[in-house]
Amino acid sequence: MPEPLQKYRVPARVIHWIMAILILCIIPIGFLMVRAELERSTQNFLFITHKNVGTLLLVLFFVRAIYRWRRPPQLKPVELPKIQEFAAHATHIGLYALLLIMPLAGYVRVRAGGFPIEALDAMGIPSFVPRSEALAEFAKAVHYYGAYAFTALILMHIGAAAFHGLIRRDGIFTRMWPPVGKNS
């Protein structure tokens, strides 16, 4: 058996923080861009940013998931009450689920509605879903409700990370921080 590690491996930490930064930008952009009072040019800019960064996040999800599957974390256990361990595990599963569902629903909503995704169009990557108003409406609803569930889970996750990092200082926060640096 290899020695358990103090921290997540560097690739896992780097991907976690790149995705965290992008998500913490894309969610407020999403909520902002749907507001009717915005100027047309501002709204276009926000939509283009949202759709393309969102699509990048879908790719990053697969990079992250494949890396985790190939190199599962072998972390040194930290003594935690069972209920906290369960809550952390459940939150992480929920976060992974929404990390896939959100960009996928966004993609389907846009493509089934017949709209562009500029970066994919520039690379000549065709749509993988048929044009369908019903499918677009369904994906839109999933994306809409998912946005609130995702925001709630992320707030819980950040709250827990801050609690471990600032109050308990039990080594949970430093398993993921800093993004690069020695694993000892």
Applying CB under 6 A, the residues found at the interface with ligand HEM are 16, 20, 23-24, 26-27, 30-31, 34, 50-51, 54-55, 57-58, 68, 73, 88, 92, 95-96, 99, 102-103, 106-107, 109-110, 117, 140, 143-144, 147, 150, 154, 157-158, 161-162, 172-173, 175-176
Q: Which two tokens stand for residue 124?
A: 């000549």
Nearer to ligand HEM, 41 or 77 (CB): 77
User: Is residue 164 classed exposed, middle or buried when 0-12, 13-18 and 19+ CB atoms within 10 A define those classes?
Assistant: buried
Q: How far is the CB of 1 from ligand HEM (least distance, A)?
A: 19
Q: Which residues pair with 72 in a beta bridge?
A: none
Q: How far is the CB of 157 from ligand HEM (least distance, A)?
A: 5
Q: Coil, helix or strand for 75?
A: strand
Nearer to ligand HEM, 3 or 89 (CB): 89
CA distances from 106 to 74, 140, 176 (A): 34, 7, 28
Q: Are the C-beta atoms of 15 and 67 separated by less than 8 Å?
A: yes
Nearer to ligand HEM, 67 or 182 (CB): 67
Q: Give CA–CA dist 153/149, Å, rounded.
A: 6
Q: How far is the CB of 26 from ligand HEM (least distance, A)?
A: 5
Q: How far is the CB of 24 from ligand HEM (least distance, A)?
A: 5
